[in-house]
Amino acid sequence: MFEFNDEIEFEKTWEDVIDTYAIHDRSWLDSIYKLKGKWAKCYMKNEFTLGVRSTQLSESLNGDLKDYLKSDLDVAEFFAHFDRVVEQKREEELEAEFNARKKFPQLGLKNSPLLKQAIQVYTPTIFRMLHDQYDLASVARIKNHQEDLLVHTYTVEFLHKLGEYIVSYDTADKTFSCSCRKFGYYVATF
């Protein structure tokens, strides 16, 4: 249910699930459905998320806290455990920052000027994300291209990956946008 780019496709699949599994007590399911704007990808098209789902951040913290907290703790013990979790998170962040400044990730495409520059600027984690996107671009193909006076629209698909994406270039304000919504809007400076 998270991967639908189209609202109509999402709605049809939602109804199919309800029909297929003959869900009788729908109160909980209806409450989840009312919040679809916060978790269903197709309803978050205008949100800049970098591909991170809204639940991922809280799931990570909940997982960390669960290891330290028990229901029989009093308030003082709870805060002592909570402080340890926060301190551990800070130490992990400092270590990651140190590693980012002292260690460079391996450059996969050795002749790429873009990646040579990026490896000097970005943290290893962000660089790997950029590297993966750069690599993915090598298996992308333009399936369709349409132009009107103001907007150039490209339908892009990838080898070995289902689905397609709509990339638009607005010639008036020189911005690119993509239906995947991972990149927000990029202003081209030619």
Query: Rounded to an integer, what distance in angstroms lies between the CA atom of residue 179 and that of residue 41?
Result: 11
Predicted local confidence at residue 55, as pLDDT? 57
Name the strand (E) or helix (H) holding 143: strand 140-147
- What CA–CA distances, in Å, run from 179 to 48, 56, 80, 142, 163? 11, 21, 45, 14, 11
- Reply yes or no on whether the pLDDT at 53 is more than 60: no
Q: Centre a 10 Å sphere on the Cβ of residue 93 and count the other Cβ atoms it contains.
A: 10
Map out the domains of the chain as residue ranges. Answer: 7-43, 54-102, 104-138, 141-190
Predicted local confidence at residue 188, as pLDDT? 53
Average pLDDT over residues 136-143: 88
In 3D space, the residue among 135, 163, 128, 167 whose CA is nearest the CA of residue 151 turns out to be 167
